[in-house]
Structure 1
């Protein structure tokens, strides 16, 4: 089966990102041919991380034998970008230590190649049914200083492209969508990470710090994200003469 991105354009179907080593059994890959979802197949760990950023898949099927980087490093990086993405880990056979490591690292399920026919696909379809929709309701935010293209997931400041990670983009999106309003760390966790509000608020602090640095590096201007001590963070639309 060749690497495929069927259904990515327009996302008429849920997108399944399959990260599988090159020696995966053909009968396993054949189970991923289904009219109910589209898929993209990658065999390199780095490409998997890039695809999560580019395509925002609805489900990641992560083989535990990847390289460059290995599967557990991929899992760590993907979880840094998104806590909402459903991840199903797959191994050649059930290995208790590897299964526990994957689940503790952020996987939602563990499958293996020797499972009874149809069971693996049933798990995948169940996870897809419960996946959180990732398509935002609006496609463009523009305020004269910042332009966020939500479809392309690109940020520009006064015409200058600002390279952001998926998480940094989501944090900026939530702040800009609520311009002038102070958002608590718990609110940002819930909407940018889409995680439980009892998550670690320190994640917000460092994500905002990285966001500010990315904007300054790309534009030479400070990001208009204010810290309101003891309360949270606020995006303030800069005036026309702000540099």
Structure 2
């Protein structure tokens, strides 16, 4: 566990035949929680659902291969830390992985303590030094990026990962109208050309979640023909 009590989420991508037992042993640790998938398509899907702090990507992956996955990951986000995994050191492959967007490499023939220490070191660099930088609090709405928890007027609001990211994008730009295209880029991390109609449905679900939990209207306004904005609610009078 981290100092905040949060186990660090990792996403491991490797084929069943190439699932590295060395790394699996490393990940059996209370400081980590991990999900394993076997294809590049599953990895790209679970980047949104699982929101890992670190992606462990086998360079033996097939259909799509690791280079296609790395390219797609870097098109979606520059923030996610990626550690490429290979059975042993191969200079040309290692250089190609770093040039394609990997941050680190881990060879599966290294001793277990070193593998665990390297993963922890990468995760420490992925975490913010100041937890306060991961907190948005306007006196009514409170969003904690470390715990992924939201509350409004002191009432906990259970949100899906997408609803949380959508609300954070709006609240971070309080009072500013964001177009569906801007929200796709900030909450979905989509490339240009994404379907803006899914923003409308996501906003409806977000409003429903807030109202169901708090009994209050959601502080998200629709600006017809333009987009959406977060309007900070007034604190309740004591």
- Say if 2:116 is the partner of 1:121: yes
> Is the 8 Å Cα contact of residues 58 and 128 (structure 1) preserved in structure 2?
yes
Three-state SS of the structure 2 residue aligned to 1:110 is strand
What TM-score, normalized by structure 2, do the two folds share?
0.60
Partner of 2:160: 152
The 1:39–1:138 alpha-carbon spacing in structure 2 relative to 1, beyond 3 Å, is: closer
Q: Distance in 2 between matches of 1:242 and 1:115?
A: 54
Residues 148-188 of structure 1, C-alpha deviation per residue, up to 9 Å, x if partnerless? x9941346xxxxxxxxxxxxx968953564154489xxxx9
Partner of 2:44: 49
- Say if 2:24 is the partner of 1:16: no
Instruction: Give how far 1:21 is off.
Output: 2.4
Q: Distance in 2 between matches of 1:132 and 1:151?
A: 22
What TM-score, normalized by structure 1, do the two folds share?
0.59
> Is the 8 Å Cα contact of residues 12 and 37 (structure 2) preserved in structure 1?
yes
The 1:98–1:45 alpha-carbon spacing in structure 2 relative to 1, beyond 3 Å, is: same
Larger proportion of helix: 2
Partner of 1:104: 99
Residues 38-83 of structure 1, C-alpha deviation per residue, up to 9 Å, x if partnerless? 1111121111111111111011111101123111111111122221
Partner of 2:64: 69
Three-state SS of the structure 1 residue aligned to 2:94 is helix
Find the partner of 2:193 among 210, 213, 227: 210
Q: Distance in 1 between matches of 2:35 and 2:52?
A: 9
Partner of 2:212: none
Instruction: Give how far 1:95 is off.
Output: 0.9
Three-state SS of the structure 2 residue aligned to 1:83 is coil
Q: Which runs of no fewer than 5 residues in structure 2 stay unpaired?
A: 129-133, 135-143, 202-219, 228-238
Partner of 1:82: 77
> Is the 8 Å Cα contact of residues 84 and 132 (structure 1) preserved in structure 2?
no
Three-state SS of the structure 2 residue aligned to 1:119 is helix
Q: Distance in 2 between matches of 1:68 and 1:192?
A: 28
> Is the 8 Å Cα contact of residues 63 and 91 (structure 1) preserved in structure 2?
yes
Q: Distance in 2 between matches of 1:108 and 1:242?
A: 38
Q: Distance in 1 between matches of 2:25 and 2:73?
A: 25
How many aligned positions are there?
A: 179
Q: Which moved more, 1:91-100 or 1:112-121?
A: 112-121
Q: Distance in 1 between matches of 2:92 and 2:79?
A: 25
Q: Distance in 1 between matches of 2:166 and 2:222?
A: 18
Q: Which runs of no fewer than 5 residues in structure 1 stay unpaired?
A: 1-6, 142-148, 156-168, 194-203, 221-235
Partner of 1:40: 35
